[in-house]
Amino acid sequence: MDGESLTKIEKLIMENRCVVFMKGSKEQPNDQCTGEMLHLLDKFCVKYSVYDVTMGENFANSLALYSGTYRLPLIYINGKMFDGDLTGIGRMSHSKFCSTFEPYDGGLNKRIYDLINAFPVILFMKGTKTQPRCGFSKEMLDVLNQSNVDYATYNILDDNDVREGLKIYSNWHTYPQLYVNGSLIGGLDVVKQMMESNQLEKNEVVPQMTSVLDVKSALQEFLEGNSMNYCSILSILNEAQPEEKELSRVLMGLKLCVSMLVDRSCQKLVSIIFNLDWMKLSKKLIRTHVDILIQLTLADVSCVDNVLMCFVKKLKPGTISPTCTVEDDDNENAIKRSIIYTAAHRALKQLFEIYPVCKSHIYYFCKCISIPRTSYCNFA
C-alpha cells in the first residue's frame, strides 16, 4: 500500500463527515450507479465530499486494500464504511438513515419529519390562516375551507431553515405544500383537482390522497417494524373503500414492493393480505391479490403454508359454487366468492407446479374449500 495514498485516504475520511470515493466528479459521475448514489445522498440532505480515485497514481489500489473491497462508489460516513452499491441506502427509510448515520442536517430533517407528522393534515404556506402572505397560499386556504377537512398551518416565512429544507426533503420546490399523515399531497393545482372531483371530503382525505410511492414507503416502514404504517395500509385498502382507480394505485404499490422482499421474509406482507376483507374489494382486485400471493411464494418458500391458509380463511366450505355466474346469481357476494374460488383453483395449479413437494398440503387445502378430488388429482 502506497504510504502517501494511505495518508490521503485517512485524512479524507477523518476530515469529512461523509466522503464518496468514486470515478468522475459530482457534476459528471462516471456511471449510472454512482449517479444514483449521489442522488440518494442529496435526497437525505447529506453534506458530502467526493474524491475521484483516478486522480492519484495507485490511489484506487490503495483504497481497495484499505477498505477490503474493489467496489465503487465507496462511502464513508462518520468514519465508517458503508456499502456503496445501492442495496443498503436504497432500501433504507429516511428516518432509519438519519438515526443510523447521523448525517449533516440530521437535526433539521428530524424537525421537518416531526412537523409534517404533527397533524393529520398540515399546510406549509406563506403567512397564517388569518393573514396569508401570497396569492397561492390564500387560494389554497379558500379551497381547504370549502371542504370539511380539519387542517393546521405552518408559516415558512418565520422559519427559513424549514422553508429551504422542506424543498429538498420532499423534492418539491414551491409553496404552499399540503401534507396528509406525513405524506406530501402536492400544491395548489393538485388540491384544486381533488376538490373538483369531490375527493377532498372529511374522513376521506387520507385514503383518497394516497399514491403508489406513499404506500410503498409505508409498507417498507412496516417491514422494518413500524406497526402504525401497517394499520395505515389496512385502513387504506380495507376500511376506507376509495374509488377503484385509487385502490388500483394502492395495490400496484403493494405489487411493486414484492421485488423488495426477495432477500427477506415475506410473511408480514402475507399477513396484510390475510387480514383484508376481500369481499369489500372489486372483482379485479381480488384476482390481483391472488397474483400477489403467488409472487410471494416465489420469493419465500416458507410462505406457502400461510398463503394456502389465507385462501382457506377467505373461502367458506359449502358456500362456494364454482359454476356461479352473474346470470345464475345476482348476489354480489356469491359472485365474488365464485371469483375467489376460480382464482384459488388457478393458484393451486401454479403452486403445485412450483412446489410439487407440497402436494399433501395442497390436497388438504382443496378439501378445505370443497374442490372435487377429481379436480385436484389432475394437478399432478
> Residue 42's domain spans which residues?
3-101
Residue 206: inside a domain? no
73 and 189 part of one domain:
no
* Among candidate residues 101, 117, 133, the one where a domain is terminated: 101
The reply to whether 276 falls in a domain is: yes
Residue 242 is assigned to a structural domain of this protein = yes
Pick 96 or 12 by higher pLDDT.
12
The 10s digit of each residue's pLDDT in 352-371 is: 665 554 555 555 555 655 55
Instruction: List the CATH number of the domain containing 174.
Output: 3.40.30.10
Coil, helix or strand at residue 154: strand
375 in the same domain as 265: yes
What pLDDT, on the 0 to 100 scale, is given for residue 39? 77
In a domain, 357, yes or no: yes
Question: Which of 168, 197, 226 is a domain's end point?
Answer: 197
Q: Are residues 232 and 247 in the same domain?
A: yes
Whole-angstrom CA distances from 332 to 71, 157, 215, 308, 359 are: 57, 54, 28, 24, 33
One-letter amino acid at 50 equals V
**Number of domain units in the chain:** 3
Q: 332-347, pLDDT tens digit by residue?
A: 777 777 777 776 666 6
Q: What is the pTM of this model?
A: 0.33
Res 65: pLDDT: 82
Q: Which of 85, 101, 117 is the last residue of a domain?
A: 101
In a domain, 203, yes or no: no
How does pLDDT run across 193-239, given as a tens digit for each residue?
A: 777 766 555 434 444 334 444 544 555 555 554 444 444 454 444 44
- Residue 7 burial by CB count (10 A; 0-12/13-18/19+): exposed, middle or buried? exposed
pLDDT score for 18: 81
Residue 46, pLDDT > 70, answer no
Q: What is the pLDDT of residues 105-134, one digit of tens each?
A: 446 777 787 778 767 788 999 998 888 999
Place of cell 404552499: 176
pLDDT at 72 over 70: yes
- Highest mean pLDDT out of 90-104, 107-121, 179-193, 284-298: 179-193
